[in-house]
Amino acid sequence: MGRKTSISRRNFFARVGQGAALAATGGLVWSYLLTQQARATPFAIRPPGALAEEDFNARCIKCGQCVDACPYDTLQLATAESGIPIGTPYYIPRETPCYMCEDIPCVPVCPTGALDHALENIDDSRMGLAVIDIENCLSWQGLRCEICFRECPVQGTAITIEYHPRRISKHAMFIPLVHSDACTGCGICEKACPTQKAAIRVLQPDLVQGQIGDHYRLGWTIDSPITQEFKAGVDATGTSAPATGLDYLNEGSP
């Protein structure tokens, strides 16, 4: 300490280079660890009101106050072996689902806003989306089960039963269907599912949901009367432009 050493300019730059290389290598390994952890986040079912994964990951300070607030001990903080970013809150629906408290106690205690305080109605939360494995669902085998339908807290909206009559000697099928516009992903269905491994699972919507794309126009969903004078290209305002090249189909009709 304090001993004067004469170092040549070359030596000085070599030392600076060594320090920088060490810092850069350390930084690379460090950022690899971070990105590896972040990669697993799509598989975490987060508390109600959680922001989109990237924002949630950035904001969550891992304090566990949501875990403290949860009256059902649903939420837990991820440990190193949970396979999701260490210290962030999540839950395993098959073990303990979210029971959708009306006052949502876990959200207002979040100090950073990783859980969105704007969430006021628990029915608006989207923790995940229930997905049915139709090869193992009892109802899809023709058995009367429908437990998920009956247990669902957004009953009749998030899960509906579709009636499928069959031949006289066979029981009709009562098939559960999940609707993403109402399913909160609470996981009560997954917890209740009687199959050995749950045939209805909650996953993050991004993992399972497709997207039709804007170029499909489903005529029967367009809110205008369908008449004989059907013209392609009716838009929402009701104004229509004749579809060129299709007019000949109606030519000559009385």
Partner 1 sequence: MNTTSKPVKTGPNGRPVRPFVMPASFGGKLRVWRLLLLRRVVQLGVLLLFIGTVRWGWEAAGRPVLTGNLSSSELFGLIPMADPFAVLQIMLTGHFPLQEVLLGAAIILTLYALLGGRVWCAWVCPINMVTDLAAWLRRRLGITDLFRLSRNTRYTVLALALILSVLTGVAAFEWISPISMLHRELIFGIGLGWTAVLGVFLFDLFILRNGWCGHLCPLGAFYALVGKLALLRIRFDTPTCTHCGECAKVCPEPQVLNLKDAAAAGMIASGECTNCGRCISICPEDTLHFDLRHFIEAPQKPDTSQSNQRRAA
Under the binding rule (CB under 8 A), the answer on residue 160 touching partner 1 is no
Under the binding rule (CB under 8 A), the answer on residue 83 touching partner 1 is no
Under the binding rule (CB under 8 A), the answer on residue 54 touching partner 1 is yes
Quick one: which of 36, 42, 40 has its CA closest to 209? 42
| Given 61, 177, 243, 246, the residue binding partner 1 (CB under 8 A) | 61
Under the binding rule (CB under 8 A), the answer on residue 34 touching partner 1 is yes
DSSP 71-137: TTS--EE--TTSSSSTT-EE--TTTS-----TT-TTTTT-SSSSB-TT---GGG--S-EEEE-TTT-
Under the binding rule (CB under 8 A), the answer on residue 111 touching partner 1 is yes
Question: Do you know the residue count of the chain?
Answer: 254
| Given 8, 9, 10, 81, the residue binding partner 1 (CB under 8 A) | 81
Nearer to partner 1, 110 or 132 (CB): 110
Cβ of 5: how many Cβ atoms within 10 Å? 5
Q: Interface residues for partner 1 in 174-213 (CB under 8 A)?
A: none
**Calpha distance 239→216 (Å, rounded):** 19
Binding range to partner 1, per CB under 8 A, among 57-65, 162-170, 171-179, 242-250: 57-65
Q: Interface residues for partner 1 in 119-158 (CB under 8 A)?
A: none
First to last CA, the chain: 104
Task: Convert residues 215-254 into a mask of x (bound to partner 1 by CB under 8 A) and - (unbound).
Answer: ----------------------------------------
Contacts of 182 (CB under 8 A, 6+ apart): 123, 154, 157, 158
Q: Which tokens sit at 235? A: 């838009």
Binding site for partner 1 (CB under 8 A): 1, 19, 23, 26-27, 30-31, 33-35, 37-38, 54-55, 57-59, 61-65, 67-69, 76-82, 85-87, 109-113, 117
